Structure 1
Amino acid sequence: MRFFFALFVLIAPAAYADGGDLPSADVLFLGEQHDNPAHHARQAAIVADVRPAALVFEMLTPDQAGRVTSGLLADQQALETTLGWRDSGWPDFAMYYPIFTAAPGARIYGAAVPRERARAVMSDGILAVFGDDADAYGLSDPLPADQQATREALQLEAHCDAMPEEMLPMMVDIQRLRDARLAQEALRALQDTGGPVAVITGNGHARLDWGAPAALSRVAPGVSLFALGQGEEARAPDGSFDRVETTAGVDRGDPCAAFR
């Protein structure tokens, strides 16, 4: 099942030089396909224009974010090394570095759930792993049956249909955990700095219908939000967004080859 917001915008890659065409909001969720350089260029352009008071990265833990200093921002290699980026599993840091430097005065926040904490969902459950305020973020509420089924199907597709079916509910719980952590950290950044806040994250977490924006709206309904989804070659990302923009795709080969 695919959901689309009424406003669907196709923008050629050349238009990505300017980030100044978005409405103002307290928190902007800037979605991406993680390995697409054009998506990161667009995020950097938006950040340069908005000049957010805070940047929240899905890719960083709070500990990693706390290592970022103004001096490190001037040195791409030193920042990459300090963050331990090469061991993180995320794509080439060169794609992300311009986002860090686009708003030099912004405070850096990390919302990543460490792998060991994500794995603990299996043994301890999502409520215990998230901790305080799990109820407020909706984590104690079971998903509607149709949404649960859709989210499990998306997880199966994302794992090349190689994930055991009994693992799918846990994978959905981990995604819900990550959505809630992004929302929690974005709200903390807004409260700390007064905003605006830009959240750098995958499209799946930026979606309005059930991603981090939905979790944030639940706990802070007065906070104004904007969500950007970035697709490739006329295929929009799954979910609803305030705006969807489309770039050329990238050559990924066969991402499922390793599962065969």
Structure 2
Amino acid sequence: MADTADRVRDDALMQADIIILGEIHDNGFHHKGQAELIERINPKAVVFEMLSSAQAAQINADPRDNLAVLGHRIGWAEAGWPDFALYQPVFEALGETPVVGAAQPRDKVRRAFSETAFGVFGPEGTRFDLDQSLPDEQMALRKDMQFRAHCNAMPMDMMAGMVEAQRYRDASFAAVMLATLDEYGAPIVLIAGNGHARTDWGVPAMIILSEPNIKTLSIGFIERPQPDSIPPFDITIMTDPAIRADPCDAFNN
């Protein structure tokens, strides 16, 4: 594909302790680009937004000679993610590299919606400023982004809860990354959606709040045509779009 991961300089990859590889989940070009980067990085471990700790443990224990069967065995489709075949290049690039699951239990994410991120995360959430209210301007922007992401079909007064759930997940991913770095050493990689890869308030920002000396690199994969507003990443890679139905059709039926 054009504008692939070969745009990323090796020195940028080698200097980072933690590399966050963003994506649009259903775009196979993004997963091929992530696979190319993983082969170059040769990480000590790879953390996945999509995997629970139990799923990751099963992947680490089971043979990886038939990835399609492995995807079925861990219940990938049942978790609601796009076809495992889209992610297969990433798993092929891993070889036997250990994987770590960062997915949070759905009941905790739902609680963060109603109880705030700090209320669910607990006292350790101060590491990630979860005990602090977001600045009014940022909260307004994030509520509007959530509203548009849900096709303007949900009440605006629910969006503050959506933002809290996102803060909880970002902080949880950051905590898993820091624990993985302690266990395996650098470099490690996170595979996650572009919203989590944002350098202003996503996982990279959460890591810096907790451990400012750790070097992070955020690489976001986005689609042509270039959107009016590109999320902040350290490096942005543009690809062809995925062929998909209008996601808002689900709200109109």
Query: Could you state the TM-score of these two structures normalised by the residue count of structure 1?
Result: 0.89
Aligned partner of 2:42 in structure 1 is 51
* 224-233 or 74-83, which deviates more: 74-83
**Paired positions, count:** 248
| Counterpart residue number, 2:246 | 254
Q: What does residue 41 of structure 1 align with?
A: 32
Correspondence for 1:16 among 1, 4, 22: 4
Matches within 5 A, 1:195-206: 195-206=186-197
Q: What's the CA shift string for 1:134-173, capped at 9, x where partnerless? A: 1111111110101000000010011000111121000000
| Unmatched 5+ stretches in structure 2 | none
Could you tell which deviates more after superposition, 181-190 or 228-237?
A: 228-237
Name the counterpart of 2:97.
Answer: 106
Secondary structure, in 3 states, of the residue corresponding to 2:125? coil
Cα distance, 1:107 vs structure 2: 1.7
Superposed CA deviations along residues 49-106 of structure 1, whole A, max 9, x for unmatched, are 1110010101111222111126432221331123211111111101112212313242
- Is 1:94 the counterpart of 2:82? The answer is no
Provide structure 1 residue ranges, at least 5 long, that are not aligned to the other structure: 1-12
**Cα contact 2:53–2:102 (8 A) shared by 1:** yes
Kindly tell me: are residues 253 and 122 of structure 1, through their superposed partners in 2, closer, same or farther at Cα, counting changes over 3 Å? closer
Residue of structure 1 aligned with 2:132, choices 127, 130, 141: 141
Instruction: State how 1:71-220 maps to structure 2 within 5 Å.
Output: 71-220=62-211
Q: Which has the higher helix share?
A: 2
CA RMSD of aligned residues (A): 1.8
Segments of 4+ moved more than 4 angstroms: 17-20
Query: Percent identical across equivalent pairs?
Result: 39
> What is the CA-CA distance between 1:113 and the residue it aligns to?
1.6
Letter in 2 for 1:21: R
Amino acid at match of 1:76: L
The answer as to 2:233 corresponding to 1:241 is yes
CA distance in 2, matches of 1:228, 1:185: 19
